Chains A and B, each alone.
Chain A
Amino acid sequence: AQSVTQLGSHVSVSEGALVLLRCNYSSSVPPYLFWYVQYPNQGLQLLLKYTSAATLVKGINGFEAEFKKSETSFHLTKPSAHMSDAAEYFCAVSFSTGNQFYFGTGTSLTVIP
């Protein structure tokens, strides 16, 4: 079965500290991986995506993620957290264009001043 797992439903970091949000996937075919951010009462905004090009992907707002096939991971990082990064983050996987997305259960990021 194809799926995505986000470890840690809640992550707290201090302002200026490293942000690391974990995402692992299981798939029998090459996946396409995405990170979305959701602010309260808002829609899903794409942060970055991996679609079989460069394994290190840079996204918006200083976020980046590295696709590691050997570890079946696609962890999201940001060197220095900002208060405005507080939100819900979803990892999602798809297996070909036109196919549904499978979302992880989400990680709520809190940034402590």
Chain B
Amino acid sequence: AAGVIQSPRHLIKEKRETATLKCYPIPRHDTVYWYQQGPGQDPQFLISFYEKMQSDKGSIPDRFSAQQFSDYHSELNMSSLELGDSALYFCASSPTGTTNYEQYFGPGTRLTVT
């Protein structure tokens, strides 16, 4: 079965640079979520989109922005990177209009800021 695809899987950037993470949800999933997992921490919700509109917002820094495109893939744009942004970034997707409440997680993008 198709899973959530995230690219790149690993990314190394320097401080003050920008990064773009991409997420391709499972086909026919119209909701996308972004989570950040710092070293030794639990995943923290950043932002979500439903039908290309922002549906919920968590602890996402103002330096970050995200969007969902017409093909439902999503991109997380991160600017003025800081050392503290080093983390594993998960994307998850879910279908709506069903009773399935599960979120399907991708393998994550490991971002290292040096």
- A-side interface residues toward B, CB under 8 Å? 32, 34, 36, 41-46, 49, 51, 90, 94, 96-106
Contacts and interface: CB of A to CB of B under 8 A. Distances in A.
Contacts of A106: 41-42
A99 B90 CA distance: 16
A104 B107 contact: no
B48 interface: yes
B101 A94 contact: yes
20 contacts: A32-B101, A34-B102, A43-B105, A43-B107, A44-B43, A44-B90, A46-B105, A49-B101, A51-B99, A98-B48, A98-B50, A99-B56, A100-B33, A100-B45, A100-B56, A100-B58, A101-B45, A101-B103, A103-B42, A106-B42
B108 A43 contact: yes
Interface residues of B, number: 29
A103 B98 contact: no
B100 A97 contact: yes
Nearest to A34: B102
B106 interface: yes
A6 to B, nearest CB: 9
Contacts of A46: 102, 104-105
Contacts of B101: 32, 49, 51, 94, 96-97
B106 A97 contact: no
A27 B114 CA distance: 40
Nearest to B96: A98
Interface centre among B41, B43, B92 (most CB of A within 10 A): B43
Interface string B36-60: 0000011111001010000110100
